[in-house]
């Protein structure tokens, strides 16, 4: 999965003391705006040190 590969590139092995909060949303009715390509998805991630 592309998302997992992206996270693995960002988070190094020595980053085990961090918490990454990830939230995703699907925006309803955006499939009509994207010409049949599906809904718009928004992803946010916040990194905080413990």
- SS3 state at 41: strand
Confidence of residue 16 (pLDDT cuts 50, 70, 90): low
**pLDDT tens string 17-36:** 778 888 999 888 777 676 66
Instruction: Sketch the domain layout of the chain as residue ranges.
Output: 2-49
Strands (E), the chain: 18-27, 40-49
Extract the tokens encoding 26.
């699907």
């Amino acid at each position: 999965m592309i998302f997992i590969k992206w996270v693995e590139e960002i988070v190094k092995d020595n980053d085990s003391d961090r918490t990454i909060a990830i939230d995703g949303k699907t925006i309803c009715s955006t499939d009509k705006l994207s010409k049949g390509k599906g809904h718009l998805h928004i992803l946010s991630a916040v990194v905080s040190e413990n």
